[in-house]
Amino acid sequence: MGVEGVTAPSTAPDLSLLPADLQERWPLAAERASRKLAGLSENPAAWRLVQAAQRAPNARQRVVWLQRAADAWAAPMRAVAACKAGCSHCCHTPVTITRLEADLIGRATGRTPASPARSVRLDDHETLAAAIEAQAELQEPGWPGPCPFLADGRCSVYAARPMACRLLLNLDDDDLLCRLIEGTPVPVPYANAGQLRAVYLLAQPGAELADIRAFFP
């Protein structure tokens, strides 16, 4: 499970809509992220944990193993990422989880996940990419507000937090580009976790996807 590079925005970011400090930062941040990745080695434990997931007897156990794999994958990058304890920018952005992850969080918190008003099923789409795109289209414009599990600026379900939260790492030196600006997305040099995301979705055939806020309104 290698260190794959930085997630590129799907289209060239329109920097002209951003404040001047962010416009200046983006090319510098992208260069910093690439330089950091070039100096890192992958964590072999991540691949071993993915293999353990593949041997697991059911989807629930596969997801738990893959969450551990995600933590191992992220470990070398955490030391150089901008992400720090107490930072909660990502907890104010859309957080897509599966029904199975909602059940794991439900078990950890004693809360019963709701039936989301709007969700996407993987098997209603021909490809993973189409399902992910359909889920992204369900998101309301603008920022959705804090995750229901954010308490005093910290994650209250850290051990059970979903895959989405384990895989998001800003490889810049600080959180300037994580700033939430209404009306325009800000490009962030996230570590590219595309391979693990795909394995995780394939491990849950027919999974229901929705925002964490829709499972726990």
Chosen residue from 66, 70, 83, 157 binding ligand SF4 by CB under 6 A: 157
Burial tier of 188 (Cβ tally within 10 Å: 0-12, 13-18, 19+): buried
- Of 99, 54, 52, 46, which Cα lies nearest the Cα of 75? 46
Q: How far is the CB of 20 from ligand SF4 (least distance, A)?
A: 29
Distance from C-alpha of 190 to C-alpha of 171, rounded to nearest angstrom: 6
* 151 three-class SS: strand
Judged by CB, which is closer to ligand SF4: 138, or 155? Answer: 155
Burial tier of 57 (Cβ tally within 10 Å: 0-12, 13-18, 19+): exposed
Write each residue from 158 to 197 as x if it is in contact with ligand SF4 (CB under 6 A), else as -, in one continuous string.
---x---x--------------------------------
Judged by CB, which is closer to ligand SF4: 61, or 93? Answer: 93
Judged by CB, which is closer to ligand SF4: 81, or 212? Answer: 212
- Main-chain dihedrals φ then ψ at residue 190, nearest 5 degrees: -75, 145
Establish if 95 lies at the interface with ligand SF4 (CB under 6 A). yes
Q: How far is the CB of 25 from ligand SF4 (least distance, A)?
A: 24
Other Cβ atoms closer than 10 A to 184? 12
**Rule CB under 6 A: which residues touch ligand SF4?**
91, 95, 147, 149-150, 155, 157, 161, 165, 212
